Structure 1
Amino acid sequence: MFRTAVIAGVGLIGGSMALGLRQRGLAGRVIGYDASSDALHEAEALGVIDEARATPGEWLRDADLVVLAAPVKALGPLARELAPFLNPQALVTDVGSVKGGIAAELERLGVRHFVPGHPMAGSERGGVQHASAALLENAVWVLTPTETTPLTALSRVRMLVEQLGAAPVVMPPDAHDTLVATISHLPYLASLALTHMVARDERLSLLAAGGFRDLTRVASGDPRMSRDMVVENRAALREALQRFTRQLEHLAETLDQPEELLEAAVEGKRTRDSLPVVKRSLLPPRFDLVVAIPDRPNQLGIITNALGQAGVNIKDIEVLSVREQGGAVRLGLETPDDVQRAGELLRAQGFETRGRG
C-alpha cells in the first residue's frame, strides 16, 4: 500500500504497527522516528524498523504514510515538528486515545490528508520490546474524521486498518472522546481508587485475589502516560464520573433491597456477557471454550500444543483466574465444531472444559 512509512514514536503501539506493516507486506520501507536513541536502537535490533531517524528533515518528503504514535500529551508537539517537512500528499494518522485536540491541531497545521485514529488495543507493558503485530489483530480501531477530512484519505486509512487485521469504526472526534471517557478513562480512575484503598490498609493486600487483580490491571500502566490521557479528556471524564457516582449511590441503596440488587446483578451479567470485548460482535464471531488448569508446570503449553497439532486455531486467549490450586483460561475458537473438537481432545488429556458461545 505504501512505498515508505514513517512511524513517529516506536513504543508499544507504534512498534506493533511497524511490525504489522512489515509482516503483511504493506510498506516497502518502514522508518522509525523517535527522540529516544535507545528506543530506536532497540527497534532496529528487534527488526521492527528498517531505518532509524532521530531528527526531522527533508527525508520525510519520501514518506507516503506517517503515523503519529506518541503519548497523548506529546502528539501536538510531534505534529508541529514534522509538519514542515511532510509531503503534502502523504497520508497521516495517529493512535492517540483522545481525538479532539489532535484533530484540531492537524487542521490548524494545514495537514490535509489526516485521519485521526485510535486502536482499542494495548497492554500494561509498554515499550517496543513488547510490540507485536498480533496486538492489533481483531482490535476495534476507531477513526474520527472531521468535516475537512478527504473521503479518499478516510478510505485509505480504513483499508490500512483492515489490512492490519483490525475492525475500523467511524465516528466524530467528540463522540469518541465521550465514549472512551466511560469505557477507558473512568476504569483507570476506578482502579486507582481501589489500589489506594489497599495501599492504606495492609490487611486488604493479604486478601486481594483474582477479582481485585482483574479490576485494577490498568493501574499497572505507565503513570505519566495514563495521567496525561485522563487530563486531556477531563471534561468528558468529569461527566462520566458524575454518572458513575450516581450508579454507586443507587447500588448502595439496593443493599437493603435484595431483590432490586439481584435485578441489577442480572442486568450487569447480561450486559457484560454481550459486550463486543466478550462476544466480539463487531468482528468475526468467536466461540469460546473455558478450560480449568491445575497448578502444575506447562499446563498451558500442553493445551496449546495439543490443539495446534490437531489443527485447531486459537484466535484469542484470556486468563480468567489464577489461584494456588490452579485457574482457568478462555480460548476463543473459530467455529462451534472447533469448540467440540478441542473439548474432546482436552478432556481426553484430563482437563475440565466448558463451551460457551
Structure 2
Amino acid sequence: MPEPVLPDPPVTPAPLFETAVVAGVGLIGGSVAMGLRQRFLARRVIGLDASMDVLREAEALGLVDEVRPGPGEWLREADLVVLAAPMRALIPLARELAPYLNPAALVTDVGSVKGGISAEMERLGVRGFVAGHPMAGSERGGVTHANAALLENAVWVLTPTDHTPLTALSRARTLVEHLGAAPVVMPPDAHDALVATVSHLPYLASLALTHMVARDERLSLLAAGGFRDLTRVASGDPRMSRDMVVENRTALKEALARFRRQLERLEADLDEPEELLAAAHEGKRTRDSLPVVKRSLLPQKHDLVVAVPDRPNQIGAVTQALGAAGVNIKDIEVLAIREEGGALRLGLESTEAVAHAAQILRAEGFEVRGRA
C-alpha cells in the first residue's frame, strides 16, 4: 500500500529579528508588537510592562508571545528592543534597561520628543540606539486599541546623531519599512522644532479654544463640526499630552512666539480686506497641498496575514482555496519577500471571514496570523 502523501510543513519567512522586546505595551507599543508578529518580522515578541493587567491583555489579544514585568538578564537575548513608554517614563525606562541590553541589539524608541532620549542613550553608552517617532496615534489610548494598521503609511522619523552607527540606522530603516511605514531621517533638534509647530502647538491651541468654550456655555451650543475638528487633539490623554509638550518646551516656546506674530498679523489684516483675502488664499493653497495619509485603521479592516514560500503560484493557491470556500477577499497586499519566503495580507469582510479563512488555509498547510 503506498505511503500517504503528507502536505509540506508551513513555511515562515526568515525573521529580521530572533527576539524582539517591546517595553511599554500601550497603543503604539502594542501596535508595533502586533506588526512584528503579524508580518513575521520576529521569531519571538516579548512584552515588557510594569502593569500585569496590561501584559495579560496584550497576551490575550495575541500581540506578544511572552510577557515580562521587569528587566533582567533575559534581555540579553533580544536583538531588537523598542522603548514605548510615555514621555515622562521614557528616560527612566532607558536607564533601567541599559545594563541588560545586548551590545549588538538594535534599540529604538517611539517617543514624540527626541533630544532628551538621544542624549541620555549616548550618556548610557547604548551604541545601537536609533531614536524614532512614528507620526501616528489615536484619541483612544491603551493596549486594547492597538492595531498594526495604525503604523501603515505613517511617516516614521528616525533621528540619528553623529555617534549613531550606520549599520544601526540601516537596520532601523528596514524595520520601519517592513512595518509598512515610511522612514524619514533628520537630526533630533530638527525633529523637535518641526513637531513643536505641527503637533505640540496645535495641542495648546486646541486647549485655548476649548477653554474659551468652557467659560461660556452659549458657545458650546454653536460649536459645530469645524470647531470639533480643530480641537480634536484636546481629547487625548491629559497627562501624556502634558508630559509631551513640557518635554519639548524650548522648541514649543519658539513656535508659540511665531504663532503670536501670525495672529497679530491677521488681527491687523481685519482692517485690510485685500490683505486678509491674500492670507486666506495662501492658507487654502497650503492646506490643500498637504498630503492625505490614508491608513487602514479607519475604516476598520479585518486582516489575515499568510506566510508563503518564495515559489510560483502561491498567491493563486491562497486565493483559489478561499474562493472555492466562498470567502470574499476585499484587499490583498504582498508584504516584503525575505530569504525563506514572504507574506500576503488579506483584507476580509468580517471577524467571521477571518476565522473561516484561517481554518481553510491552515488545512492547506499555510501559517496564518491576524486580528479581526
TM (normalized to structure 2)?
0.75
In structure 1, the gaps of 5 or more residues are 281-285, 287-299, 302-308, 315-357
Q: Which residue of 1 aligns with 2:232?
A: 217
- In the alignment, which residue of structure 2 is the partner of 1:182? 197
1:29 aligned partner, one-letter code? R
Aligned to 2:61: 46
When the two structures are aligned, how many residues end up with a matched partner? Answer: 288
1:16 matched to 2:34? The reply is no
Instruction: Give 1:258's match in structure 2, choosing from 262, 269, 273.
Output: 273
Partner of 2:43: 28
Q: Deviations over 1:222-267 (max 9, x none)?
A: 1011000000000000000000001011111111211111111111
Aligned residue number for residue 106 of structure 1: 121
The amino acid of 1:97's aligned partner reads: S
Distance 2:175 2:329 in 1: 33
How much is the aligned-residue C-alpha RMSD, in angstroms?
A: 1.8
Aligned to 1:320: none
What amino acid is aligned across from residue 273 of structure 1 in structure 2? D
* Counterpart for residue 151 of structure 2: 136
Distance 2:133 2:242 in 1: 18
Given candidates 225, 228, 250, the residue that maps to 2:243 is 228
Do structure 1's residue 203 and structure 2's residue 213 form an aligned pair?
Answer: no
Please name the residue that 1:306 is paired with. none
Q: For residues 148 and 180 of structure 1, what CA distance do their matches in structure 2 show? A: 23
Q: Aligned equivalents of 1:312 and 1:5: distance in 2?
A: 29
The separation in 2 between residues aligned to 1:37 and 1:19, in whole angstroms, is 18
Q: Distance in 2 between matches of 1:270 and 1:312?
A: 33
1:311 positional shift: 5.8
Q: Secondary structure at the match of 2:71?
A: coil
| In 2, Cα distance between equivalents of 1:210 and 1:59 | 51
Amino acid at match of 1:36: S
Q: Deviations over 1:278-314 (max 9, x none)?
A: 2x5xxxxx8xxxxxxxxxxxxx99xxxxxxx796889
Q: Distance in 2 between matches of 1:123 and 1:311?
A: 25
Higher relative contact order (CA 8 A, sep 6+): 2
- Asked whether 1:267 is paired with 2:267, we answer no
Supply the distance in 1 between the matched residues of 2:25 and 2:108 (Cα, whole angstroms). 15
Partner of 2:227, secondary structure, is: helix
Q: 1:111 & 1:230 partners in 2: Cα distance?
A: 26
Give 1:72 deviation, angstroms: 1.1
Give the superposition deviation at 1:202.
Answer: 0.4
How far does residue 55 in structure 1 lie from its aligned partner after superposition?
1.3
Q: 1:237 aligns with which of 238, 252, 255?
A: 252
Letter in 2 for 1:104: A
Amino acid at match of 1:92: V
Which residue of structure 2 aligns with residue 91 of structure 1?
A: 106
Give the letter aligned to residue 250 of structure 2.
Answer: A
* Paired residues for 1:206-355 under 5 Å: 206-276=221-291, 278=292
Q: Decide which of 67, 85, 88 is 1:73's aligned counterpart.
A: 88
- State which drifts further: 251-260 or 138-147: 251-260
Question: Who is 1:329 aligned against?
Answer: none
Amino acid at match of 1:258: P
Percentage of matched positions with identical amino acids: 80
1:178-213 deviations in Å (ceiling 9; x for gaps): 000000000000000000001000001111111111
In structure 2, give the amino acid aligned to 1:38: D
Q: Which amino acid aligns with 2:77?
A: D
Which residue, out of 131, 142, 161, partners 1:146? 161
Residues 48 and 310 of structure 1: is their aligned pair in 2 closer, same or farther, counting only changes over 3 Å? closer
SS in structure 2 of the partner of residue 225 of structure 1: helix
Once residues 203 and 61 of structure 1 are traced to their aligned partners in structure 2, the CA distance between those partners, rounded to angstroms, is 59
Taking the aligned partners of 2:25 and 2:213, their CA distance within structure 1 comes to 35
Return closer, same or farther for 1:160/1:253 CA change in 2, 3 Å cut-off: same
Query: 1:98 Cα shift?
Result: 0.3
* TM-score (structure 1 length as normaliser): 0.78
Tell me the secondary structure at the aligned position of residue 157 of structure 1.
helix
